[in-house]
Structure 1
Amino acid sequence: MLEADFKYIIDTFFMLFAMTLIIFMVPGFAMLEAGLVRTKNVSSVLTTNVMIYTVASLAFLLFGYQLAFGGWESTSSSIWAVFMFQMAFVGKTVNIMSGGVSERVRIIPLAIFTLIMGAVIYPLVVNVSWGADMLKGTFLDIEMYDLAGSTVIHSTGGWALLAAIMVIGSRRGRYQDGKIKVIPASNIPLVVLGALLLWIGWFGFNGGSVGTISSIEKADAVAKTIMNTNTAGLAGALVAALLMYVRYKLFDITMILNGALGGLVAITAAANYYDMFTPIFIGLVGGALVVFAVPMFDKLKLDDPVGALSVHLVNGIWGTLAAGIFVEEISFMAQVKGILIVGVFTFIVSFVVLIAINKISAFRADDEAQLMGMDINECGVEAYPEFKRAI
């Protein structure tokens, strides 16, 4: 067998394996969100996650990939493996959004937005960052470095979520008389399972983004990237645990896990560049940002049941900036410019699209439907029919 053929086969297998790890993030998001919402809304959350994966993936297959990358070509590994790897990313932008608007969002309008996100909005962000770059040479040409999507994936989903919360509003009774009603998670074991599935999926997310593993140098780069990814998650979890204990003398597992996810988001921009110690600091800052951002968004009455704004938007920005701070080869100003362009574009376009869809089919379920639960009104199937529904 020729060496070039062997490398082609190995890199194709590597892409497919990384893609499979990323797909584990689909049940990861589903379980995390199902555990954080009330029992009367679990079937709806699970259905939404499945619909996002199917609709976004097909939209990317039929329209989005061509727009993002300008064609179907690859010489180093199978184009079908490359496509599957890129397809695994696309639904994550809407998964980030769906968790943040859960317990009051209707499935059909969200599916319509998912179609537009997978076919147009996300591919355009990819085009000017990872892809064909139709705007090269113009002011909108992004030279930002973003290995696996602190901005391209996580901030894009976060900006879309911010627009969605502003359009849809908060859950019934969440903010009353100037007070915040605490709505506890329904199933902590599912939260833990979902977060750990996401954590495992991140190894394919970041490691796979190195692109190739068929040489000693690249194999080391992949291993280092995965190690740094894991380190940031560990640091994020630890600092969240410590901060919660200092503040409340309690260990909140949901906040600990969100701290880990915040660290993972933050390291995603340049996990391949850092030495083995820098990810500790990046993860510590990421986990701390989650702890402080969650109550901040509540004070602003931005109702986010799963903390997605704090995890993905805030740490997507931090991680992209950190790459420009700690990596000499990366321009800090290019990182700032990329954050601003992607943020302004995604927020404005998402807001306009959401408003337009909302005129046709309301995103927000009415108060009576929310009281009964989205499972009954949207799915006709309750996840826990033997349990008394919480109001």
Structure 2
Amino acid sequence: MEHTEQMDEQKERQSNKKKRKKRRKGPPSWVISIYVVISLLLIMALGAGGVYYYVWSNLKPTHAGEALKVTISKGMSASGVAETLEENGIIRNGKIFGYYLKLKNEGSGFQAGDYELQPGMELSAIINKLNAGETIKAETIHFTIPEGYTVQQIADKLSSEGFVDKDTFMSLATGEHDWADAETVRSIPESDAFKVRLEGYLFPETYEMKVGSTEEEIIARMLQETDHKLNSLPEGWQDAIDASGRSLHEVLTIASLVEREVVVDEERPIVASVIYNRLAYPMRLQIDATVQYALDEPKERLLQADLDIDSPYNTYKVDGLPPGPIASPSLASIEAAIFPADTKYLFYVTKKDGSQTHLFAKTYNEHLKNIQLSNKASK
């Protein structure tokens, strides 16, 4: 009896123990899985939100400030531009901005130069400005080179205006130098006879250049202008030079002679034809302007002694053309030298009636008569 009671008590304890275990058992595993997934999503959402906030905050405009001069160097990458903008306080974060540019497919069109940018600008405004190349307009100088000027006259003029050192300018124009960005200057032949190597190759024009431009930069710009002007000539000009049997250097030399001999544009092709006719005859050119160029100082009136000076530029004593141009020819003179008039003229004399035109002749006797007519007109 007592044993039976003990058994019953033991069974009851075991039953209670099982009930307690049952009560302590947690939620099902699938519920726990849902809890875990939700928790992870919340963590990811918070993380993504943090990243988004970080990116957004770094793409916001900076605090407004005074405009700054920011230099974008030639060849600078988009990331380099971004770094420069951050260093100047125009944007908040260069790396984030760099990624933003890649996302927007921007940066490859940014143009080099000095920009006025202001802290507080919208990113779109910065990008548009760099793409458009809206650089700060540099302070500039202006100078005009008249047609028919020699290199010496050009140097004197620019020196008097404070733009160049005359000796440096003349040294560059006289000596050998690699003008890599200029094409026409390569036609200059090797010669020890030149008075000034670049004579005739510095185009007479009005120029605008940055303040502080060096003598080398000014000369290079003028040489490039010669290239530009030649490319504006009527189609076929290069073929016409080839057909003439003359080099470009010789044609520019003829153009410079025309420039110094002619005032009225309509006569330029006619005077060019006289030069070609005398060269073909052959006859010495006997052009006073070449003697003036050979002299140390030009004279108002040449004397017989001047015509006898020993110089490769003195066309009263040497056959053919002088070694090179004697001045900077205008485009009109260059075109006349390339496309001369078709005439038989061998002589011309200036009318002394103030018209600055000429009388032309095919023979020496006709020329003598024209000289008499010119002298009568002056009385």
Same fold (TM over 0.5): no
- Greater relative contact order (CA < 8 Å, ≥ 6 in sequence): 1
Which range, TM-score by smaller chain? under 0.3
Q: TM-score, normalised by structure 2?
A: 0.24
Q: TM-score, normalised by structure 1?
A: 0.24
* Greater percentage in strand: 2
